[in-house]
Amino acid sequence: MENSENIKEMVRQKYSEIALQDKETNSSSCCGATGSCSTEVYNIMSEEYDELQGYAKDADLGLGCGLPTQFAKIKAGDVVLDLGSGAGNDCFVARHETGATGKVIGVDFTPAMINKARENAEKLGFHNVEFRSGDIENLPVTANSVDVVVSNCVLNLVPDKHQAISEIFRVLKPGGHFSISDVVLVGNLPEKLRNAAEMYVGCVSGALQKEVYLEIIKLYQFKNITIQKEKSIIIPDEILLDYLSSEEIKAFKNGQTGIFSITVYAEKPLCIPDSGCC
């Protein structure tokens, strides 16, 4: 795979294109990826928001792989941070939960997505939802200022997962928590899939091993780590044939590799050991 800056630029360019597409186009491809990826629906984002309060159709680009806001235990008055906020869909659902007394901050590093999200917020008349341009590895958010962090199928696109998790820990208030949906692996992807740029932007080849993902969260002192939801992701043969031969596809399917969407919950302790507060 390419270096971190090249990966970021690739993701930024692709999601700039996605910002100008509709949900139907995005949901019939790999996380909105264009090109020859698929003409049948790639069910990596088969979750439906329609029944969630606060759902805004114009902000739903069909890019998620879970419903983190449904599990995030958001309370009235909370400050909520959405990482990789896109056109604002998860932010608007979170706003319904936190109410007029709370605040929702969306962070995205794609200017076209920030513009689209701000337009949606303006149309909806939401004045306690703010969209900031920034990098998840260096969040434009004050330390210890956020009650809840949510993110939907985004951390798998971030090159430095350790730094991303560290930043989540930094911005959360003591006692705060996160609920994050992401793509993880069990077993190793075939090399041709791991190295495919289209599959990286499609949220698959950038994914970590499930156990490694959870270990990173533990490393940064989060507690009560829980998998709130897990589902298998099946890549259609139509997509696999762009990267693998028929024989390689058969071996891949008969192997021990699994691709999953998981929604993970974890809490920042009220007191951090060696911080002097305990």
Q: What is the CATH number of the domain that holds 143?
A: 3.40.50.150
For residue 108, is pLDDT > 90? yes
Query: What pLDDT is attached to residue 272?
Result: 72
Q: Which is more confidently placed, 22 or 217? A: 217
pTM score above 0.85:
no
Domain assignment of residue 274, yes or no: no
Closest CA to 170 of 221, 204, 213, 134: 221
Query: What pLDDT is attached to residue 188?
Result: 80
Q: What range defines the domain where residue 115 resides?
A: 4-237+255-267
Q: Which of 20-29, 55-64, 259-268 has the lowest mean pLDDT?
A: 20-29
Domain assignment of residue 141, yes or no: yes
For the stretch 66-106, pLDDT in tens is 788 999 999 999 999 999 998 898 999 999 999 989 999 99
Domain assignment of residue 273, yes or no: no
Domain assignment of residue 250, yes or no: no
Task: Let me know: does 30 contact 42? Beta carbons within 8 Å.
Answer: yes
Query: What pLDDT is attached to residue 251?
Result: 86
Q: Which of 19-23, 140-144, 177-181 has the lowest mean pLDDT?
A: 19-23
The total number of structural domains in the chain stands at 1
Concatenating the DSSP letter of every residue in the chain gives ---HHHHHHHHHHHHHHHTTS-HHHHHTSSTT--SSS-SS--GGG----TTSTT--GGG--S--SS-HHHHS---TT-EEEEES-TTSHHHHHHHHHH-TTSEEEEEES-HHHHHHHHHHHHHHT-SSEEEEE-BTTB-SS-TT-EEEEEEES-GGG-S-HHHHHHHHHHHEEEEEEEEEEEEEEESPPPHHHHT-HHHHHTTSTTPEEHHHHHHHHHHTT-EEEEEEEEEE----HHHHTTTS-HHHHHHHHHSS-EEEEEEEEEE--SS-TTSS--
Domain assignment of residue 192, yes or no: yes
Domain assignment of residue 213, yes or no: yes
